[in-house]
Amino acid sequence: DVCSSDLKDVPMELAPGLTLGVIMERADPADMFLSHTYPNLAALPPGAVVGTSSLRRKAQILALRPDARVNFLRGNVETRLRKLAEAEYDAIIMAAAGLNRLGLSAPHAVRLNEQDFLPAVGQGALGIEFRKDRQDLRELLRFLEHPPTRLCVEAERGLLAGLNGDCRTPLAGYAVLQSPGALRLSGLVASCDGSEIISRSLTGQITNPRALGLELARRLKDAGADRLMETAKI
């Protein structure tokens, strides 16, 4: 009845009868630059090979370094770090939360500021999904709930739903709480080669975070996000 997962992998609409009953406190939402040779993204030589499994990351890497070669990177965290150590890649980009949870890193590890390198929707947050009728589980797991994280994640998932996005499209969304009672949501849609990026931010009250996400999605669409997402699908 119960499963937990990184919220960036949870479908934007849950199956009938299920609910995202618990959202725990978010870990570091940022991405991490990792390399055995180069201290940061700017230090990579022309034509350097950067590994990632994410179209979102690929687009943002190429927007910053259009001369780089971005190759897809498969496997679990340990496998990806091994491939980096074996020089299959000059650098790789991974979620900071996963690395921190496992206590893993590389000789050069640089956190990419989430305001400049926008994370995936729900990145760093863990959720527990169960049947809506399992009130016993809701009560049992209530102590794990982190309301500030839920507000942010609900706004991000509203953005994702409004864009009808999935893992095959290079899009990003990240929300932060601002005092008093305000939520700031940033969203991004890009072409796969990073040559075109549409980004917008919106601040609203915390009373309806999903509506904030849907409104930001509408504004991104008005700016041409649908066109980019259609051409970016693989």
Place of tokens 């009672």: 181
Amino acid at 42: A
Contacts 24+ apart (CB under 8 A), 37-44: 37/90, 37/108, 38/90, 38/91, 38/108, 39/108, 39/110, 40/108, 40/110, 41/65, 41/91, 41/110, 41/112, 44/68, 44/90, 44/91
Q: Is 9 among the residues known to form the active site?
A: yes
Beta strands 69-72 and 49-52, pairing class: parallel
Chain center to CA of 166: 11
Q: How far apart are the first and last CA of the chain?
A: 33
Pick the catalytic residue: 9, 67, 133, 222? 9
Please say whether the beta carbons of 33 and 94 come within 8 A: no
The whole-angstrom separation of Cα 27 and Cα 7 is 12
Residues recognised as catalytic: 9
